[in-house]
Chains A and B, each alone.
Chain A
Amino acid sequence: MSRRRHSDDSDDSDGQPHKRRRTSEPSEIEERLESLICRVGEKSNSSLESNLEGLAGVLEADLPNYKSKILRILCTVARLLPEKLTVYTTLVGLLNARNYNFGGEFVEAMIRQLKECLKVNMYNEAVHLVRFLSDLVNCHVIAAPSMVAMFENFVSVTQEEDVPQVRCDWYIFAFLSSLPWVGKELYEKKDAEMDRLLSQTESYLKRRQKIHVPMLQVWTADKPHPQEEYLDCLWSQIQKLKKDRWQERHILRPYLAFDSILCEALQHNLPPFTPPPHTEDSVYPMPRVIFRMFDYTDDPEGPVMPGSHSVERFVIEENLHCIIKSHWKERKTCAAQLLSYPGNNKIPLNYHIVEVIFAELFQLPSPPHIEVMYTTLLIELCKLQPGSLPQVLAQATEMLYMRLDTMNTTCVDRFINWFSHHLSNFQFRWSWEDWSDCLTQDLEKPKPKFVREVLEKCMRLSYHQRIIDIVPASFSVLSPANPVCIYKYGDESNRSLPGYTVALCLTIAIKNKASNDEIFSILKDVPNPNQDDDDDEGFTFNPLKIEVFVQTLLHLAAKSFSHSFSALAKFHEVFKTLAESDEGKLHVLRVVYEVWKNHPQMIAVLVDKMIRTQIVDCAAVANWIFSSELAHDFTRFYIWEILHSTIRKMNKHVLKIHKELEDTKARLARQHKRRDSDDDDRSSDREDGPLEEQIERLQEKVESAQSEQKNLFLVIFQRFIMLLTEHLVRCETGGIDVFTPWYKSCIERLQQIFLQHHQIIQQYMVTFENLLFTAELDHHILAVFQQFCTVQCTSKLFMFSLLCG
């Protein structure tokens, strides 16, 4: 061992750790220990086994001084680096063989950590801990019978009464998902008990409700790959594993190389583990549907893809998901880690990676990470594997296109966004002719609709002529409109239109930098078509005034977003006055649409700005979207982008005021505390006055904002119900099939509202149930609501009883 200077790196370039003889700062030691531990298993000149052995030696020597740090680090890697599970269980196994007490303390620390995770609803991390503990059986750290006993307690959760199904689901998942690692060992030692556990699991899985599944499936069709509920899929995989006598060949098991050392080690018994009871605050993971798009037929020349019910498939997918979860912030590292997943000559790794990435991108209700991450990650992967990955991606795109007819609308949205953004990084090169089949279909059908929306998004990232140039002439029917402004007073031939002269007047005035007052006085001359409603005092709803002003202003400011925003800001007063009433707000939005219907992007940014500057409110936007004027564009993507953006703004607004309230309450509490600890008699309750007033005001503000929020959803749901009921009644009386492309789109948009904003909707459930989603509703619509209830994982018992009867 060479003596190293304080400033040197603690490792050789080959990753072999060396003993340090110098003393360093405790935090530096902790950093170095953490680095050593985290890096074991990475690419190295030495074998994994010799690195593990070396590291075990170093850690053993450091135990007297740094035991608690080492315990903490090992517990943390168990929880946060599940993709390297077996590397670290082997390490712990080696340490346990050298130091039995340490092994015992580690197991205790893990159990403490597991309990804590469950208490704070960190269920995904808890699964990693359970799996780690079970693999420790393979490393002779934990005695198999005690692990079986823990699993017996897990499975007995299914016997609990009056608990949410998602609670039982988690304990079953934790049990089943550990079996690929430890099934063989447990079955060898305790086959009767395991059989009993498996049969109890089977009967639970048979009786559990699966109403939520359709809402979470990416495709509604079962062909070519069924979209299975995650527990059903896992159960099939474990059954197959059992049939194969628990032979599992994919997982890398470094501990096998150390068998002679490890089998000499003394094992520990897990303390009896009682699952913490269900509480009001428990929030369990949402159920999932397993996304599959490839099978062994898709890569005929490469290694065979493990079947959908093979346990290998489960392990590969779990590990790839974990890698993304670990490295999502570092796209280059993430891509490199994915591509260096072990076993890449025995499995078609590129296909697995692409499938896992799309699984996340299309996950319902939401992807685990921001959508744009996946686009950029795929681009990085293409850079690292230019000879193979682009082809897999092209194949995947083709397959997704072929199956558009049964793809969930929300997923189609994400597909559109991904594909157009991806193309913009590759000069929009694509073999559009391959998709000519869509040209002969009704434009409302999924395939032509998809191509239209993609081309529109591509245009937004470039410019109109570019899109015309990149598609074959035959695709012109699907090409986006030239995003030009439509000014109704622009032509001399429109002279006869009411308000034409005022429009001209306004144009000149605005060009001459008129003030708001001057604008008001010009507008005074505009007659009100609703003459009888007109007051003599001030302004009431005058649609013609709104029309003339908004048309003219938007036309003058059409050059760019910035120009339009400046215009809105400069004449904010006029807007506020004209749009004071609800009808006024609605009409402003109508005129914006009339002017900019060729440029959906402009409509979206204008609506956003008008909400933020309070020219219109969220409810007005919702009503406008469902209005008859917009019926023609109702199924277009940009409409839903606007609606969801509006809802999000509303939600952020409520959160912001809520936070203000909490912050002010905290300030008051601090003030009290200071006074209590301060003996000064001069300070008094008087000082609380301003803060208490502020709190009261903020309380009112919060209530008012929440009321607005609830009202927004009420409007949206009401309008949906009206629209859908109209369609259902029309179909029934006309004797035509309900399931038109429009209907499918509309129902899925309703589902999307529930899923995208489930946490907020949850808060107002009682109102929605009592006012809107009553038993009298058509069962098609009610089903959406009921599915949503089952997807929600709360402790509300009444919801569970809703499920049962």
Chain B
Amino acid sequence: MCSGGTLSILRSDSYVDLSQYRDQHFRGTRYDQERLLRKSCTLYVGNLSFYTTEEQIHELFGKSGDIKKIIMGLDKVKKTACGFCFVEYYARGDAENAMRYINGTRLDDRIIRTDWDAGFKEGRQYGRGRSGGQVRDEYRQDYDAGRGGYGKTVQCQLLFKWC
């Protein structure tokens, strides 16, 4: 009668819940995307340094379970690392533990962020910013040595200033 039940406060698993982000390029309905996200074994990892290697990512994310595949995010033009990647696990539970314990901790001295991904598809390894990198690096105003310095727009402005 009683030994099976639990309490909702103990069921809370906020680190594993879906975030607000939905991939605008996803082919399918919102519902399809959410269904995939809820059973996905793939994580998007953001705020990486451009210099962070696959080896480092493997070492860190390997702490929550066996990794099936890592796909480094690339600048669409330069084909060099542009600060994000996908990590796919064999088991959903291992991906959940990464969301609980690796998300929000540091890699290469940077707080990295993980989020559920509906699954890698060819083309998704490229940045979607106009200049080839990630969108966030197009418009940001700060100087980030690990992500190419100033944002692209700012870089253009500076260049223009000196011409």
Chain A interface (Cβ < 8 Å from any Cβ of B): 31, 34-35, 38-39, 72-73, 75-77, 79-81, 109, 112-113, 116-117, 120, 122, 125, 326-327, 329-331, 333, 370-373, 375-376, 379, 417, 421, 424-425, 427, 457, 460-463, 560-562, 601-602, 605, 608, 645
Closest CB in chain A relative to B2 CB, distance in Å: 4
Given A76-B7, A371-B63, A608-B66: A112 and B1 interface contact (C-beta under 8 Å): yes
Contact between A72 and B106, CB atoms less than 8 A apart: no
The answer to the question of B131 belonging to the interface, with a C-beta cut-off of 8 Å to chain A, is no
Could you say which of A72, A326, A333, A427 contacts B5, with CB atoms under 8 Å apart? A72
Contact between B13 and A372, CB atoms less than 8 A apart: no
CA distance A210 to B160 in the complex (A): 79
Could you say which of A80, A373, A462 contacts B101, with CB atoms under 8 Å apart? A373
Contact between A424 and B63, CB atoms less than 8 A apart: no
Given A460-B56, A560-B55, A562-B54: A125 and B100 interface contact (C-beta under 8 Å): no
Given A421-B63, A462-B108, A562-B54: A120 and B100 interface contact (C-beta under 8 Å): no
Residues of B within 8 A of A73 (CB): 7
Could you say which of A81, A417, A425, A602 contacts B106, with CB atoms under 8 Å apart? A425
Within 8 A of A (CB), among B90-147: 97, 100-102, 105-109
Can you show 25 pairs from A to B with CB atoms below 8 A apart? Answer: A31-B8, A76-B2, A76-B5, A76-B6, A77-B7, A79-B2, A109-B1, A112-B1, A116-B2, A122-B3, A326-B10, A373-B97, A376-B100, A376-B101, A417-B63, A421-B60, A427-B109, A457-B59, A461-B56, A560-B53, A560-B55, A561-B70, A562-B72, A601-B59, A645-B66
CA distance A427 to B9 in the complex (A): 35
Contact between B97 and A80, CB atoms less than 8 A apart: no
Residues of A within 8 A of B101 (CB): 331, 370, 372-373, 375-376
Could you say which of A35, A372, A462, A608 contacts B97, with CB atoms under 8 Å apart? A372
Contact between A330 and B15, CB atoms less than 8 A apart: yes
Given A76-B2, A113-B2, A331-B15: A601 and B58 interface contact (C-beta under 8 Å): yes
The answer to the question of B14 belonging to the interface, with a C-beta cut-off of 8 Å to chain A, is yes
Residues of B within 8 A of A372 (CB): 63-64, 97, 101-102
Residues of B within 8 A of A38 (CB): 7-9
B1-31 toward A: CB 8 Å interface, digit per residue (1/0)? 1110111111011111000000000000000
Within 8 A of A (CB), among B27-84: 53-56, 58-60, 63-64, 66, 70-72
Residues of A within 8 A of B3 (CB): 79, 113, 116-117, 120, 122, 125
Could you say which of B5, B53, B58 contacts A463, with CB atoms under 8 Å apart? B53
> A427: nearest residue on chain B (CB-CB)?
B109
CA distance A457 to B62 in the complex (A): 12
Residues of B within 8 A of A331 (CB): 15, 100-101
Contact between A370 and B59, CB atoms less than 8 A apart: no
> B12: nearest residue on chain A (CB-CB)?
A330
Residues of A within 8 A of B97 (CB): 370, 372-373
> B93: nearest residue on chain A (CB-CB)?
A370
Residues of B within 8 A of A562 (CB): 54, 70-72
Contact between A34 and B8, CB atoms less than 8 A apart: yes
Contact between A75 and B2, CB atoms less than 8 A apart: yes
Residues of B within 8 A of A122 (CB): 3
CA distance A113 to B72 in the complex (A): 52
> A374: nearest residue on chain B (CB-CB)?
B101
Contact between A424 and B70, CB atoms less than 8 A apart: no
CA distance A707 to B126 in the complex (A): 46
Contact between A72 and B2, CB atoms less than 8 A apart: yes
Contact between A462 and B56, CB atoms less than 8 A apart: yes
CA distance A677 to B63 in the complex (A): 50
Closest CB in chain A relative to B56 CB, distance in Å: 6
Closest CB in chain B relative to A415 CB, distance in Å: 15
CA distance A341 to B107 in the complex (A): 32
Closest CB in chain A relative to B103 CB, distance in Å: 9
Contact between B63 and A329, CB atoms less than 8 A apart: no
Residues of B within 8 A of A462 (CB): 56, 108
